[in-house]
């Protein structure tokens, strides 16, 4: 049973290391002395923000890190995590604001640690990344210019990854991975998590339209490697002062490469649009700014553009249905799991009620305004 095939096993295998145990891992595996450690929010893995004490061997290196402990299902596919780690290093070398991957005392980029819980021995893959500065986009007022730059970032990321090579790259063909956008129809078996009502009806309609109008066109989309999760908590920004004295934000970090898989250029921009809509005060205009930025790097074809509306709706459905299902299995993590649901259902219903033509008109007109140098 793979992580991709069964959300139940995925949800029930989240690590549960204490801060003391996590500190011991940092010291035993990476040889760093921990001064402070605190948990970070996460979906199905476990993350800790770690500060280390300076020693004569670490006088020049960073002092803040993120310890990442993969769930047991992900830990069974070390080649996937290896490829993700190499992609992070590749992107950093290409100038992207990604973390540095720290090597273990044995000069590896991951370590498999085993824990005896009394009834069985469980293994977890452990990594240590440098801590990136900045605030999540979810915490700031997001401007059209920043939306444009995030769209451009998504396009540059996909374009740069065309040059990435690794002997195990094929492991990113994750056929039944629930978060790959082409797998929206897999949501059908989790619809019971929504109960009865309008939300479930809307998702069912999106799934049927997706089957009819997106899956039939996949062969016309251009394939690439997707980050797959450029959400409002995975993009960090830092502020600087503008000439007028206001705050101007620049991207300072890209987080969480765990949902990487082979997809299509149009998937990346659709996913980015959907997540940028979550925090926006004018969500329907977000798509045009992100699209303009993305197309400044990778112009979409007419067929790809024509699928964008249903792809954004499909990503809303993925996020909302999987969150509802995961909450049933992991009620203690409800606050984190339901971040998107706070506004997501409202955005999805409004988009769906307006219809594809009306939403596209807003997006494409906004995107066109950049051609004339007047952004809306």
Please say if 5 is a catalytic residue.
no
Measuring CA to CA, which residue among 57, 37, 252 is closest to residue 139? 252
Cα(121)–Cα(45) distance, integer angstroms:
18
Cβ-proximal residues to 248 (8 Å cutoff; 6+ apart), any chain: 239, 240, 241, 242
Measuring CA to CA, which residue among 175, 154, 170, 172 is closest to residue 297? 154
Mark out the alpha helices in the chain (DSSP H runs). 7-12, 19-30, 78-93, 144-161, 198-213, 265-278, 283-295, 302-329, 334-337, 341-354, 356-369
Cα(179)–Cα(228) distance, integer angstroms:
8
The catalytic position among 158, 229, 232, 259 is 229
Rounded to a whole number of angstroms, the distance between the first and last alpha carbons of the chain is: 49
Enumerate the active-site residues: 229
């Amino acid at each position: 049973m793979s992580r991709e095939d069964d959300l139940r096993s995925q949800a029930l295998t989240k690590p549960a290391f204490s801060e003391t145990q996590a500190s011991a891992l940092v010291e035993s595996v990476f040889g760093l002395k921990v001064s402070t450690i605190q948990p970070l929010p996460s979906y199905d893995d476990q993350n800790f923000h770690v500060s280390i004490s300076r020693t004569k061997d670490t006088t020049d290196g960073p002092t803040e890190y993120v310890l990442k402990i993969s769930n047991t299902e992900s830990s069974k596919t070390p080649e996937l995590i290896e490829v993700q780690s190499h992609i992070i290093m590749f992107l950093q070398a290409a100038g992207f604001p990604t973390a540095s991957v720290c090597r273990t005392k044995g000069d590896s980029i991951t370590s498999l640690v085993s824990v005896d819980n009394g009834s069985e021995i469980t293994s977890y893959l452990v990594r240590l990344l440098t801590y990136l500065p900045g605030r999540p986009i979810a915490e700031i007022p997001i401007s059209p210019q920043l939306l444009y730059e995030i769209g451009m970032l998504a396009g540059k990321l996909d374009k740069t990854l065309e040059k990435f090579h690794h002997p195990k790259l094929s492991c990113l063909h994750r056929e039944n991975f629930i978060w790959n956008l082409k797998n929206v129809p897999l949501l059908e078996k989790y619809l019971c998590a929504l109960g009865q009502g309008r939300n479930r009806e809307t998702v069912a309609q999106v799934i049927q339209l997706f089957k009819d109008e997106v899956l039939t066109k996949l062969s016309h989309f251009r394939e690439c490697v997707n980050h797959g999760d450029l959400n409002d908590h995975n993009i960090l920004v830092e502020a600087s002062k503008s000439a007028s004295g206001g705050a101007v934000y620049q991207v300072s970090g890209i987080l969480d490469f765990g949902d990487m898989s082979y997809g299509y250029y149009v998937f990346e921009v659709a996913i980015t649009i959907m997540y940028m809509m979550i925090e926006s005060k004018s969500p329907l205009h977000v798509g045009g700014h992100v699209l303009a930025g993305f197309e400044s790097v990778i112009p979409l074809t007419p067929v790809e553009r024509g699928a964008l509306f249903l792809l954004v709706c499909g990503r809303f459905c993925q996020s909302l249905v999987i969150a509802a299902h995961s909450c049933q299995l992991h009620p203690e993590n409800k606050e984190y799991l339901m971040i998107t649901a706070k506004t997501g259902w409202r955005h999805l219903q409004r988009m769906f009620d307006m219809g594809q033509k009306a939403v596209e008109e807003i997006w494409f007109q906004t995107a066109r305004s950049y051609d004339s140098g007047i952004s809306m």
